[in-house]
Amino acid sequence: MRKMFALGLVALSLAGCGKSGLDRNRPDEFATARQAPLVIPPDFALVPPQPGAPRPQDVSPSVQAADALFGGPAPRSAGESAAIRAAGGNTADAGIRSGAGDPSTNVIDKGTTVRDVVAAPQGDGQDARAVAGTPAPATTTPPKN
C-alpha cells in the first residue's frame, strides 16, 4: 500500500513537469523598446525667492483650517459691494469691536424675551415657547379624596 502511494505521488509530481494545454502568449521583456524620459519644460514665469522672505507654501495651520472650512476669501458681488458702500462700510471704525464691550457704550435693554430666544437651543422650533409680559396664573384642580 505504501509503495502504491509513493508511486502515485511520484507520478503526480512528474505530471506537473510536462507541457500542458495552456499556452500563454507573453511579450518578450528583452524585445521591448525603451521610451524617452519625460522632460518638464522650463517655466519662465517663476521668480527667484528673495532672501529672508516667507516661503509661499509655509502657511499657518489656522489659515489652512479656515481655507479648508470656508474656501478662502471669495470676491464680493456687485450687489454686496453696493450694500456695504451704502452702509458706510468703507468708513467704519477699525476698533469697533473693542469698543462694543466698553461700559460707557449705550446699550438698550430688550428684556428677557429676546435673551431667551437668542439662548434657545437649536431645533425645528416645535418645542420652543416664549412668554411675553406676565404669565397667566395656572389653574389647578383640587385633589379628590
Residues 36, 38: Cα–Cα separation, whole Å: 7
Q: Give pLDDT tens digits along the chain (145 positions).
A: 888 888 888 887 777 666 666 667 777 777 767 777 888 877 778 888 888 887 777 788 888 888 888 877 778 889 988 988 888 877 777 777 777 777 787 777 777 888 887 777 777 666 666 666 665 555 566 666 5
- Give the residue among 91, 134, 85 at the shortest CA–CA distance from 111: 134
Instruction: Report the 10 Å Cβ neighbour count for 84.
Output: 13
**Would you say 76 and 84 are in contact if contact means Cβ atoms under 8 Å apart?**
yes
| CB 113 within 8 Å of CB 132 | yes
The three-state DSSP-derived secondary structure of the chain is CHHHHHHHHHHHHHHCCCCCCCCCCCCCCCCCCCCCCCCCCCCCCCCCCCCCCCCCCCCCHHHHHHHHHHCCCCCCCHHHHHHHHHCCHHHCCCCHHHHHCCCCCCCCCCCHHHHHHHCCCCCCCCCCCCCCCCCCCCCCCCCCC
